[in-house]
A and B are shown apart, each in its own frame.
Chain A
């Protein structure tokens, strides 16, 4: 077990180096840099050539990207993710500020997805072939095919524009519309109301996907001989479905679960952008637009670590749910 973990960790480190080298190289090779991206947006801020030179040196932009990468990696080993060039704040502070709002939306969506997908998937497999199951499956397939950005805009029109002034009205975007000194209870209600549309958007696609995934793996499981054995010893239909079939579908499910870990923290770029939600997805999008290399690298590193951890977690859970698998 210990040697297995050690091997996985070493392999993970190699993977991380590869990912960060590629991403740093690509980011630095994009046209423009943090200075031009900022200055280009604001024609009033003219900078003299000498000042531009000086600023480039100050941010280390005059050096080649391999040198820049080594410097970034060196700082990282000392526990320093660097400072954002465009926001003048440590990258860790920026990530810390954005993590909470993202977790709020994606965590809620994550709970909703699994709390609904498992019963829905089981229901669909129990009623396989009936009219109501076909109806549910059709709706899920339609939802799965429906693009998030269209759904988000549609929801905004229905609940923010058309419902304006009614009890159904929901905030168009943002996370809060109350001042920070408002009473705590009022602020909680306010944020919760702002959350509804982003959470719905983030939930429905995964819900449709996961439910169909569970239904498909269950359809495979109920064809197995041990299901016939369970029925032959007198187990009822739900016992057969949940205890005997579903327990066996946990093996593919934990993979799905492990792979959804980075998305949980990463948030959705599209949804956060449409709803102007101050989360990680938006930070990532903005940092790329601003060519803010330290922030891009900080976020890349975090997502990569989480992806690798998610895979490791899935592999460890494997051996927990399948006695035939051992991590040795």
Chain B
């Protein structure tokens, strides 16, 4: 089996407005040492998917069904049903996590060295001195300037990029098999973003760590990922190897996302393309294909032969080896419909 696999995950929030299924049947898998990019707009459920992996979803959120399998020497373990004490060994031990907000994700009252050493001490039987030495080694590995001095500094003495390096050092300190990086560069300057992505890619090659990279930035995905899963309204709508996805996107949403990227060559001359409409709120997911109210195909293909997009919900189909699409018109998507993407002035 692959190193890591999510099967039919449903994570819902039980609020006063009723049940809100932020993640509604997500499946994905990652092989050892590979990078999977999970992309989508804000509110599509990608962060809730990330939090579900280590059961960090806060109440009133709850994993309702599905399994999260991590391959282990004694066979795959399901993180959804794993007892708390065993899950703690996975957290930070076999799966490391990097969060979006480096400014607030480090504890303000402990030194950087203490916080990395704590991760080591929680998972390895070693002395405080050895843990500190490991923390220093990690700071060197993430190429933080003056690591000896930084070790005894507090988070508020570091810049955002430096703090994110510390987060990466902490997540990797116990040599996990998988790192879940939830928008690791979103809060950073563009130049720092590139440095952090380079660092993650470099560390993956050197340590053989698999990465689940969650982002809304397709440029980031193109540079770093082996495979890409596109998420929309709590579901995966398209999954393919990165080069295939960028060369032959099939789902109208993916096509829209790719088309919406600004073209630096045409900067200022061509209008930015956007997808009409809004991301639906989980309380009001459309029935059938969740993208159909915004889809040019659904409007253009109101013909008697194909199934209507309003119902039933399409399945994720494999249209070519390794390339999955969730669309009733998956077979016909090869030749892009002229009305599939509308052009709007942004």
A: residues with CB less than 8 A from B are 224-226, 228-236, 244, 247-248, 321-324
Contact = CB atoms under 8 A, between A and B. Distances in A.
Given A225-B104, A226-B108, A233-B119, 9 more contacts: A228-B56, A229-B107, A231-B91, A232-B56, A232-B91, A233-B91, A233-B171, A323-B111, A324-B108
Contacts of A322: 108-109
13 contacts: A226-B105, A226-B106, A228-B56, A229-B167, A229-B170, A232-B92, A233-B92, A234-B89, A234-B91, A247-B110, A248-B108, A323-B154, A324-B154
Given A232-B56, A233-B92, A236-B88, A323 B108 contact: yes
Contacts of B56: 228, 231-232
B204 interface: no
Contacts of B97: 229, 232-233
Nearest to A229: B105
Given A225-B99, A233-B91, A323 B106 contact: no
Interface string B116-131: 0011001100000000
Given A225-B99, A228-B99, A324-B154, A234 B122 contact: yes
Nearest to A222: B58
Contacts of A234: 88-93, 119, 122-123
Q: A-B pairs with the 5 shortest C-beta distances?
A: A233-B92, A234-B92, A225-B104, A234-B91, A226-B107
A233 B122 contact: yes
B163 to A, nearest CB: 11
Contacts of A230: 107
Contacts of A247: 107, 109-110
A251 to B, nearest CB: 8
Residue with the greatest number of chain B CB neighbours at <10 A, chosen from A224, A226, A232: A232
Nearest to A248: B109
Contacts of B111: 323
B148 interface: no
A252 to B, nearest CB: 13
Residue with the greatest number of chain B CB neighbours at <10 A, chosen from A225, A230, A233: A233
B156 A324 contact: yes
Contacts of A323: 108-109, 111, 154, 156
Contacts of B88: 234-236
A9 B91 CA distance: 51
Contact of A235 (B101, B109, B118, B167): B118
A126 B327 CA distance: 46
B118 A226 contact: no
A321 B110 CA distance: 10
Interface of B: 54, 56, 88-93, 96-97, 99, 101, 104-111, 118-119, 122-123, 154, 156, 167, 170-171
Contacts of B91: 231-234
Contacts of A236: 88
B104 A224 contact: yes
A225 B122 CA distance: 19
A238 to B, nearest CB: 12
A233 B170 contact: yes
A250 to B, nearest CB: 8
A226 B56 CA distance: 12
Nearest to A231: B56
B89 to A, nearest CB: 7
Given A231-B91, A247-B109, A226 B154 contact: no
Nearest to A228: B56
Given A225-B99, A225-B101, A321 B109 contact: yes
A323 to B, nearest CB: 4
Contacts of B105: 225-226, 228-229
Contacts of B99: 225, 228-229, 232
Nearest to A323: B154
A229 B154 contact: no
A203 B111 CA distance: 37
Residue with the greatest number of chain A CB neighbours at <10 A, chosen from B89, B108, B123, B170: B108
Given A229-B99, A323-B156, A324-B156, A235 B107 contact: no
A248 B101 CA distance: 19
Given A323-B154, A324-B156, A232 B109 contact: no
Contacts of B93: 234
A220 to B, nearest CB: 13
B54 A244 contact: no
A231 B106 CA distance: 12
B340 to A, nearest CB: 40
Nearest to B89: A234
Contacts of B89: 234
Given A248-B109, A322-B109, A233 B118 contact: yes
A323 B104 CA distance: 15
B51 to A, nearest CB: 8
Nearest to B116: A233
Nearest to B59: A129
Nearest to A224: B104
A231 B90 CA distance: 11
Given A229-B99, A231-B91, A234-B89, A244 B107 contact: yes
B285 to A, nearest CB: 27
Contacts of B123: 234
A8 to B, nearest CB: 24
A307 B54 CA distance: 48
B118 to A, nearest CB: 7
Contacts of B92: 232-234
Contacts of A225: 99, 101, 104-105
A224 B105 CA distance: 8
Contacts of B167: 229
B272 to A, nearest CB: 33
B109 A229 contact: no
